Structure 1
Amino acid sequence: MKALVVSDTHGDRNILETILTQFETTVDAFFYCGDSELTADDPIWQKMYAVRGNMDFDADFPMARVEKVKGITVYETHGHRLGVSMGTARLEERAHAVNADCAFYGHTHTLEAHMADGMLVLNPGSISQPRSYQQYGGTCAVVTINATTADVVFYDHQLTPIPKLHQTFQR
């Protein structure tokens, strides 16, 4: 599975349209990890799996979701209700409970990727309001995962790959 993961646009709908246009023919799925500040019936969500963040006030967004794409199970949430600002243990517990291969989250505006018992845990950072690697103007990630590896390529706000942030993990 190859997926684009983005989070925390805080009203910047244009960047979501740009991301969809640039990656729509190269990825299998788009995951949006909350805090868009858009409504749940916005047409953009027809192409993205989206969850509700702490700044999304439309109750029609799910708080979390589990999706299976090309045989890979993804647990997705914003993370604010799981205390991700203090660590990812509760997120990992929830994701492991549904046998997820990946756990995607947002909220902290800080990019991060690691493995937890064979599961990729990823925060793409914020594409619009980064708190880490601010020199890139924001970040999102493309994840390619199979039975043996998880490859993470972070992209800047201009959707250019950032080679020094590239990570490959063994599963």
Structure 2
Amino acid sequence: MKVLIMSDSHGNKELVTKVKERHSDEVNVMIHCGDSELPKNSSEMNDFLAVRGNCDYDTLYPEVLVEDIEQTRFLITHGHLHQVKTTLMPLKYKAEEDNANVVCFGHSHIAGAEMVDHVLFINPGSILLPRMTTKKTYVILEVTEKEYIVHYYNDLGDIVQSHTFTKHE
């Protein structure tokens, strides 16, 4: 299974559309972790599981989504309500409450992936306004029977970094 994950596109319809069209035939699911600044019913957002960020004013977006995709439970949130700029602990507790295997979040505009107590946390960074780097990024997560493979792509569609994490048995 492959999952496209992006966040913090801040109103850039063209970037969202380009990324979506670039990968629509290869991914099973598309996730937007908030601050799209686009209406939930817009054509750009219609294929995304998406949540509301602190810059989103469309109240049709939920604050948090918990989705079972194949055999993997995803917790999707923007992160501003879980203090992700300072610690992952509140988000880790939320993941435990929801029995999540993978947590997708944004807000900090800083790309990163790490395994914490057998839960994979992924921040795809920002496709528009990255912080602590000049690389505008999004993620394609590949879920296999034994591994999570996180590929970071730049806005041009090139892989810029990859990480592999072993699933907990």
TM range (shorter): over 0.9
* Aligned twin of 1:153: 151
CA distances 1:3-28 after superposition (whole Å, capped 9, x unpaired): 01000011101111111111011111
Q: Structure 1 residue 132: deviation in Å?
A: 2.8
Paired residue secondary structure (1:15):
helix
d(CA) in 2 for partners of 1:92 and 1:2? 23
Paired residue secondary structure (2:149):
strand
Equivalent position to 1:169, from 156, 165, 168: 165
d(CA) in 1 for partners of 2:117 and 2:2? 20
Matches for 1:128-143 after TM superposition, within 5 Å: 128-134=128-134, 136=135, 138-143=136-141
CA distances 1:115-167 after superposition (whole Å, capped 9, x unpaired): 01211100000000000321x2x1001111234211111001111111xx211
Q: Would you say the 8 A contact 2:40–2:46 is kept in 1?
A: no
Q: Structure 1 residue 45: deviation in Å?
A: 2.5
Q: Structure 1 residue 104: deviation in Å?
A: 0.2
- Give the total of aligned pairs: 167
TM-score (norm 1): 0.94
* Aligned twin of 2:54: 54
* Aligned twin of 1:100: 100
Q: Structure 1 residue 92: deviation in Å?
A: 1.4
Amino acid at match of 1:140: Y
Q: Would you say the 8 A contact 1:5–1:33 is kept in 2?
A: yes
Q: Structure 1 segments of 4 or more deviating over 6 A? A: none
Gaps of 5+ in 2: none
d(CA) in 2 for partners of 1:169 and 1:104? 15
Q: Would you say the 8 A contact 1:111–1:132 is kept in 2?
A: no
CA distances 1:83-124 after superposition (whole Å, capped 9, x unpaired): 000111111111121111100000000001000121110000
Amino acid at match of 2:147: T
d(CA) in 2 for partners of 1:153 and 1:24? 16
Q: Would you say the 8 A contact 1:28–1:69 is kept in 2?
A: no
* Aligned twin of 1:22: 22
TM-score (norm 2): 0.95
Q: Which moved more, 1:34-43 or 1:6-15?
A: 34-43
d(CA) in 2 for partners of 1:75 and 1:147? 19
User: Among the aligned pairs, what percent are the same residue?
Assistant: 31
Paired residue secondary structure (1:85):
coil
